[in-house]
Structure 1
């Protein structure tokens, strides 16, 4: 049974500390990135076409109502500017897209009302140049079925306008050709938008599921390790004690059974208070050497700052957590802080009765709040890893100001006892 227990311990033993495997995975497409790309593309199309076609719109103003013609044109131009601003302010992107789509539809539908004199046959009504912008804005701002209705309605209205005298009266064939062209182009944009959004939603769902399963696996792993330890104690101590007590006929046998019961209770109490796999306490010098050896194997130099050795001794589980988190912070620095010109260091020293480990660099830094939820390197491998042993991890960084990861641990009353 001892061999079986050792096999189970080996099977559930956590992997050695090191780089987060997720770091080698390329960033996947997400719904946020798709929406961001859509907003930028629409902004470029709206602002670009608005600037290019502005002279042609001004050329048709003499044929339009002196008040409503300029008002409609200026309102649509303002919506184009709002779409351009939404490329930088993502929270107003959908609002800008909806406003742009609705104002374009209003401009197209009210065209017969705003025209006073029929435009020349050689010219097209100015809303024609912005049909794609309006339909693209609808595809991005509306739900799929609303965008589909919009994409079908715009070409139909434009065909009717072109058949009317105020739209040029170009004949059925020419009007249908323009309408079919608009429908094909707008329909392609709608299909691309729907397909990419659904793919991005599927990716987001898969990532969220992976994060939940990863967290569940961590909890199950810890439970399994503890169960194996308790099973070993129960098998080796408790059951043996019960059998001895059942067979105790003499005073000496009863005394031995009582002593065995006391030892079994002590083992169970130790299992409840200590983490699985606790070993001999680790000195500050041993922790510094362990971290120094680990970061010395990285591809970029990491300087180990000299510091005086203190008398502090850490539980093995605490030393494991601090060493793992420090190495992960150093790996993050090597991967993201910059090239070989970046200075990196690790400092391990006693702080009061506890220990302080600092991993820093003078590289590019980053915005902690901007880390996506699916990225687990900092949160799981550093912050939560140290927190599980009663320590604290602080990430002090900002873009362009370097990064300092400060890990601290102070023994509690229960630990000291």
Structure 2
């Protein structure tokens, strides 16, 4: 598909070639009739003027009409009005190069020149060929120039789009950094100055919710720190081993909610007050929560109880992760995994 400027330019040149030819030939024939100053000259002028209707209004038949027009002038006038015939001929050949592609204009040009040589001799051949070639070359140069302009405009548009994307990205990053300052940084400052652990944990959870609402791609959260806060806030005594594991804020939020649900289950059903929580970093994040309570059979959990299925398994699957819960008389182990995109 041609580029925008090239397509418009070619369409305009092709559309104007016929009217330009018609107007030019009417003027040429008017001067030719004046120079002959005879009834024959004025009769030919009238015929030529009528034929130019095809150039202005009937582009589909303009080529054969123009062909016959030159042939008639050449046969009727011959050597009596060679300038009239030659000028009409060259005007016709030049505008053909602008209006039709080479597969149409070249055979038509060769045929018309052959007829012209047979009727008036080879004297016009060099001039007619030269002007036809120059007309085609000028058309091709114009076409290439418009194509280069299109390419330059496209590159400029791409740079503008890239600049707009970069500007928007910078704005989003500045907004997110401001949000971090107002949330997580303030919470870290509270913790550094010996704030109450329960208040710090509650504030950290609120910060995590706010950050997650901005979208997973808006930043990262240390999952180890977030789950340490959850463990500290639990009624169960939790031994924590946590690495620094940065994950998207939305993913961290689902881990936090799943871990809270698992620790609540330990408190309510396991018959123990102790648990272990480990957070390790691999291709993403791995969280393991263990207890040494009485255990249960996961397959026998009633359908209406959605704690594990909805609050743990469903949440991890929603982030593209997995959750596996294994339980028996020796206790329960829940393994939560999430793999980062490459």
TM-score bracket for the superposition, by shorter chain length: 0.3 to 0.5
Structure 1 length normalisation: TM-score?
A: 0.39
With CA pairs under 8 Å and 6+ residues apart, which has the higher RCO, 1 or 2?
1
Based on CA coordinates, which of the two structures has the bigger radius of gyration?
A: 2
**Per residue, is there more helix in 1 or in 2?**
2
Structure 2 length normalisation: TM-score?
A: 0.46
**Per residue, is there more strand in 1 or in 2?**
2
